[in-house]
Structure 1
Amino acid sequence: MAELSPIDLQKALKGADYPASRDDLVALAKSNGADNTLVQKLTETGSQQFDGPNEVQKAVFGTE
């Protein structure tokens, strides 16, 4: 499988309204057809709430 990219994350979270809970983002990613690996990474983030897509990206990819 190819490595996940920030673009994959953006596609998975298309239509997200922030602030958003982790559970809401996981459900949205699943409904948008996200790869299981990406869904798992979202599920395993330590944050319960995200104020925006940059916070999600930091949590999933560990990037600034």
Structure 2
Amino acid sequence: MTDSDERRVRKALQGADFPATKEQLVDYAQERGADAKTMLALRALPEGTYDNSDQVESAVPQQPA
């Protein structure tokens, strides 16, 4: 994930309540109108619960597919 991807993910999740599951984070970003590239990155997250946005950024694959 590039620095701009990290900024996009962080912005899309700004104000999200943690801990949160992957599904909750994807839904939250979608409701906030996140762009397609951000949504692709979030949908590529491993299933699980995340304690904060730093954990989310670390878990997003380098090449989301």
Give the TM interval when normalised to the shorter protein: 0.7 to 0.9
CA deviations over 1:21-56 (Å, ceiling 9, x no partner):
100100111111111121122112113210111110
Question: What's 1:26 paired with?
Answer: 26
**TM-score, normalized by length of structure 2?**
0.76
Residues of 2 paired with 1:50 and 1:15: CA distance? 14
RMSD of Structure 2 on Structure 1 (CA): 1.8
Divergent runs of 4+, >2 A: none
**TM-score, normalized by length of structure 1?**
0.77
- What is the 5 A alignment of 1:11-50? 11-50=11-50
Gaps of 5+ in 2: none
Residue identity (%):
32
Q: How many residues align?
A: 60
Which is bigger in relative contact order (C-alpha 8 A, separation at least 6)? 2
